Amino acid sequence: MEFGIFSNGFRPHTTAAQTYQEDLAEIVLADQLGFRDAYISEHHGEPVYIGKVDTLPVPELLMCKAAALTKRIRMGAAVKLIHLAHPVDTAIQAAVTDHVVGGGRFIFGFGSGFPNPLFAGERGLSHDDRHGRLRESLGLILKCWTAPEPFDWDGRYWKGKTIVATPQPLHAPHMPMATATDTEAMIDIAGARGYALLRAQLEPAGSIRDRADRYARAAKAAGRKGPLNDVTVARYVYLADSRREAMDDLRADINYELGYQMKRGLIRLIKSNYDIGLKGDEVTFDQLAEAGVYFLGDPDTVAKELRAFYEAAGGFGTLLIVCGKKWATRDKVFRSMRLFMEHVAPKLRDLVPADRVSDVRNQESALT
């Protein structure tokens, strides 16, 4: 198993500059500690955030600065909302980032993002068409990266004449790619083409297993081996001397964030994923902790819980721990990251996902 961080930013308003410096400090430490990957959320403005919460709508700019401060860690967006911008511009920005970050360390992570109609509406686009627009965007982006000469594009959603997209990516045909998606069509595309499959921190183990199985079937059909190694899963993880200490460290800050997330509609996702007996539209950190959403406490306990989660999810290749939060203090967050890599990661590195595709196929055949 490999390890990384998911910089899923939420920091109460100071200045965006200070927020970005805190995010960078975590990425630099992650590089020093040996985390392989850093995925960074693309967060756009919403009414609930105005003057209260900093956002990072262009994570590629942060990656370019982080590249100068780090040595090995790979970086990608989780995720670039490629249905919102013209694909020619997206392709060019990604290729430039690939060259600036260098060393094969840039991952093109893409997806449709949090399903808020505001983002498409701001740009005069249809929210309902976002998945079709995303698939067409992907096709045009890939052509921009590989076309040897100017070309025209006359699609359903995007148009272009005499397109010249330079530079092309650092290494042909393109940089590594990853996607976060729940649509069956895109899971199949990702599996067949070898894009890493990203799964979010609130998704339960059973759901991860189902989507990973579909991804693996598509990969196997395309002749790819060991596809579950390309499944990347994020979890909330925080290390302290005890579970009680960890919860006391985090309770106030996480409850504060939950107040915003409830206004954004996150309660619908929680209710669909976890049966925790919610009576209204509010949820607390303690309720989510009791439901197993957070992995908290001393290293031995957390390692055992993560190992059990891995088995329930059917296995995967990379575990991301969530960062980018105003949790406790910087010193305590940094200590948690160190404890993870020094005492938890060694207990999980031996995990290699088994190939379940043949078993799944046999089960499906028995039912037909």
Residue 270 above 90 pLDDT? no
Exposed/middle/buried for residue 169 (C-beta within 10 Å: 0-12, 13-18, 19+): buried
- In angstroms, the CA 344 to CA 163 distance is 49
Mean pLDDT value across residues 184-201? 98
Q: Give the pLDDT of residue 355.
A: 82
pLDDT, tens digit, for every residue of 48-73? Answer: 999 999 999 999 999 999 999 999 99
- In angstroms, the CA 264 to CA 116 distance is 8
Q: With cut-offs at 50, 70 and 90, classify the pLDDT of residue 277.
A: confident
79: preceding bond cis by omega (within 30 degrees):
yes
> Bigger pLDDT: 271 or 37?
37
Residue 295 above 60 pLDDT? yes
Q: With cut-offs at 50, 70 and 90, classify the pLDDT of residue 367.
A: very low
Residue 98 above 50 pLDDT? yes
pTM: 0.95
Average confidence score pLDDT of the chain: 94
Distance of CA 157 to the CA centre of its chain: 26
Domain limits, the chain: 2-78+181-248+292-366
Q: Which residues contact 306 (CB under 8 A, 6 or more apart)?
A: 235, 237, 295, 319, 344, 348
Of 64, 84, 90, 85, the C-alpha closest to 75 is: 64
Residues above pLDDT 90, as percent of the chain:
89
**Which region among 164-178, 204-218, 265-279 has the lowest average model confidence (pLDDT)?**
265-279
Tokens of 194: 């070898």
Exposure class string for 18-38: b at 16+ Cβ within 10 A, else e: ebbebbbebbbbbbebebebb
Residue range 2-78+181-248+292-366 forms a domain whose CATH class is: alpha beta
Beta pairing class for 151-154 and 159-163: antiparallel
Q: With cut-offs at 50, 70 and 90, classify the pLDDT of residue 268.
A: confident
Q: Which residues pair with 80 in a beta bridge?
A: 110
Q: Give the pLDDT of residue 40.
A: 98
Residues above pLDDT 70, as percent of the chain:
96
